[in-house]
Chain A
Amino acid sequence: MSNNNDERFTGHGAEWRDSNLSREEANVATAWVEQKIDRRSMLTNKDRVEDVRDAMWQLEKDGEIIVHRITDQHKPVMAKTLYGWDKKIPTNQLWHHKSCGQCGNIPGYPASLLWMMNEMDISYLDETDQTSCTAWNYHGSGIGNIESLAAVFLRNFHQAYVSAQAEGRDPGYYYPLVHCGTSFGNYKEVREYLIHSAELRERVKAILGKLGRLVDGKLLIPEEIVHYSEWVHVMRKQIAERQVIDCSNLRATVHSACHVYKMVPQDVIYDDDVMGGDRVAVSTGIIQELGAQVIDYSTWYDCCGFGFRHIISEREFTRSYAIDRKIKVAVEEANSDVMIGHDTGCITTLDKNQWIGKAKGSNYDLPILADIQFAALVCGAHPYKIVQSHWHASSTETLMEKLGIDWQAKKAEFEAYLKQIEAGGDQENLYDPRRMITGGPGFKMIEQNS
């Protein structure tokens, strides 16, 4: 600023002067503050962070809560989190906690996950008795509060606990697997507040009691909050065994979701075998296991620009950020063929906000897929019936061409399938649709084979 008499709305005092540093000098001066959010930068707080699960077990001992345990029936696999703590990831008998954004907008995301579980003979339940975590709305609008978020969390997880009774099985048979990154981050935060605040527990206990959602008169808290990408990560070797399409020619960039690894960061999986343990392991791990080249890029730690409110009502920010800080860098710097994500909002933002770039001469068309969609695709899932790639605005077709998939033939098959449904023909389903009703009027008990 050359003229300090011109007032600016910057918050700087009148004594402020430009430093007039050269670009190199400015880089040196600010490098310390621009360090990325890699593992090292987050280890600084290690000694001051407690493992909330210790307090959770104590609360159970004190008779305050009941913990929904991950037991042998869930075939758990241990993973290491940020500080080297163990996290138990259930791999079987899973209750799908769907994502409202995924299901409404990119349905091939959950469909690919269920397809993969079918391929691997994993038992699961996809039912209608669940709500959104409501955190997208909360973070966007401020409508909601810690009590409502906690009550929704406890209600949904209680339903996961009792759902198997509809099939004549014991409570706790299914363990909840959270599809959305925001739900995952939100639930972890809320669980921490519930464990620490007797006042909050008391307030929501009254609500859950009214709903008939207590277990032996107590709140039910899950032992671990598990994101689907963690399931994919610990199952990555078994998934890769099913691979039928080579993808070693692909350069992939990974966008890790903020609400997955920046909210309650101590609960996030890091693996020394994945990017030297300095990046979030999920998604990168499976893509490497499948043989694609994962390319690091300078803005890997940046958010996607979703903004919760911004994606809906202030899209100039969302699209500018998505294009300039993510897509442009992935294409120009990393020469990426595909960007892989593991969260609803990020996939939506990065996928849908490329076309508008043409308005300012940014002609990018980078295919965007979730890790499990990519995995399903190279394991032979149908690109339209299962991966549902037609809901993606980005050019998934160019990706399929690089993978040697004849997408036009597959698209024609799908269009024929649509005609078949239209004519009243059978719909293909990944599970017996009768299982999706687990209670209330219209519910009928279905005998299970196993």
Chain B
Amino acid sequence: MSHHSTTRIQEHIGDPVSADAPVDRSKLEEIFQDIQGDLRFDHELNGCLNCGICTATCPSAHYYDYSPREIVQLLWTENLEGIYDAMQEKIWACAQCYTCAARCPFGNSPGGLVMLMREVAIKHGMESAKNVLRPFSRVMLKLISTGNQLSPDMINPDHFPDWGPNIAKIEAPLKLLRKAIPMATLNTTKTAWEVNLKTSIELYTIWEETGVLDQLETIDENLFDVIIDIMDEKRDDWDDLVEEHEDED
């Protein structure tokens, strides 16, 4: 079969009957095996009759070219090209509300499957993941280095102009407003609550042992370097504190 011109669909998702595979078959298989190899895969995918209940109740389907039914079908039929294509953009549209999972008559979790695909997109350093996550780097820096995701100093009109003027209803410095919260753990500005240094050090071990830092390095090398510096610094602080404590004893 010959093609005289490429259609828009072929241009975007590749031509299934063309001799020129947009992505090497072995790469596609490797990606699928990574998704399928997650211990959650069989729990999240049990079958699909294309009923579409998941898409009917999906908030992202209202606004994006995204359908949880399509994601499930691609995985269920092991459509490797389609899976790869969906990982370029569509999987990032999912709002992770799990409405689809609550409704699926088969007990599938399309939202959970999307998470497996996102993890694999990161593992393979896909450009889509790098592009999508670039604006997320500040949040990742905060979470991975402190164990808290949202800090009070992030909420300001420069970062959230669309939240309007009322995000600060009382004119006072942030530090003072935080001191006026009657929970001592919350008298902070750079973290949501005061995190014990020992806690952060324990969290760093979790990040290292579970491969989270490797994920980060794949997706954003600069951010990875910054975080490693912070971790080293905090570990030094911890060692000093322990040493001081031992001297006191």
Contacts and interface: CB of A to CB of B under 8 A. Distances in A.
Interface of A: 7, 9-11, 30, 33-34, 37, 41-42, 44-45, 48-49, 98-105, 107, 110-111, 114-115, 126-132, 134, 136-148, 151-152, 155, 159, 185, 193, 196-197, 199-200, 206-207, 210-211, 213, 258-259, 261-263, 265, 301-303, 305-310, 312-313, 315, 317, 319-321, 325, 352-356, 384-386, 388-394, 411, 414-415, 417-418, 421-422, 427-431, 433, 436-441
Given A137-B140, A185-B98, 5 more contacts: A7-B9, A9-B12, A144-B210, A148-B211, A391-B167
Interface string B160-172: 1011111111101
B184 A431 contact: yes
Contacts of B127: none
B129 A142 contact: yes
Contacts of B167: 352, 391, 393
Contact of A107 (B64, B147, B181, B195): B181
Nearest to B62: A321
Given A140-B136, A207-B210, A421 B98 contact: no
A131 B187 CA distance: 16
Contact of B56 (A34, A353, A418): A34
B2 interface: no
Task: Give 4 nearest A-B pairs by CB, closest first.
Answer: A355-B164, A142-B118, A131-B147, A433-B184
A181 B8 CA distance: 42
Given A139-B115, A151-B210, A390-B169, A303 B95 contact: yes
A312 B139 contact: yes
7 contacts: A98-B185, A107-B183, A147-B211, A155-B202, A265-B102, A310-B95, A433-B184
Interface residues on B, range: 35 or more
Contact of A422 (B70, B176, B183): B176
Contacts, number: 319
B36 interface: no
Interface stretch (B15-23, B25-33, B149-157, B228-236): B149-157
Contacts of B182: 111, 114-115, 385-386, 427-430
Contacts of B118: 141-142
A8 to B, nearest CB: 8
Interface of B: 7-9, 12, 38-40, 43, 51-53, 56-57, 59-60, 62-65, 67, 70, 92, 95-99, 101-103, 105, 107, 115, 118-119, 121-122, 129, 132-133, 135-136, 139-140, 143-144, 147-152, 154-155, 160, 162-170, 172, 176-187, 191-200, 202-203, 205-207, 209-212, 215-216, 219, 241-242, 244-245
Contacts of A11: 67, 70
Nearest to B150: A104
B133 A210 contact: no
Contact of B65 (A9, A317, A320): A9
A137 B199 contact: no
Nearest to B63: A317
Contact of B149 (A136, A301, A315, A441): A136
Given A141-B133, A143-B122, A144-B212, A437 B196 contact: yes
A419 to B, nearest CB: 9
A441 B155 CA distance: 31
Contacts of B169: 389-393
A355 B96 contact: no
B163 A393 contact: yes
Nearest to A155: B202
Nearest to A440: B198
Nearest to A196: B43
A428 B84 CA distance: 56
Nearest to A422: B176
B183 A114 contact: yes
B144 to A, nearest CB: 8
A308 B7 CA distance: 35
A140 B93 CA distance: 10
A184 B215 CA distance: 25
A142 B115 contact: yes
A16 to B, nearest CB: 13
B135 A312 contact: yes
A405 to B, nearest CB: 15
Given A37-B57, A429-B184, A440 B101 contact: no
Contacts of A44: 105
A240 B180 CA distance: 27
A102 B172 CA distance: 20
Given A126-B183, A132-B143, A148-B207, A103 B192 contact: yes
B220 to A, nearest CB: 9
A105 B95 contact: no
Given A126-B185, A417-B180, A145 B210 contact: yes
Nearest to B101: A262
B210 A427 contact: no
Contacts of A392: 166, 169
A139 B114 CA distance: 10
A440 B143 contact: no
A159 B195 CA distance: 13
A258 B99 contact: yes
Contact of A104 (B59, B155, B177, B212): B155
Given A9-B8, A356-B164, A439-B198, A427 B59 contact: no
Contacts of B64: 317
A161 B209 CA distance: 23
A204 to B, nearest CB: 8
A129 B52 contact: no
A134 B143 contact: yes
A136 B142 CA distance: 12
B96 A139 contact: yes
Contacts of A140: 96, 136, 139
Contacts of B57: 34, 37, 301
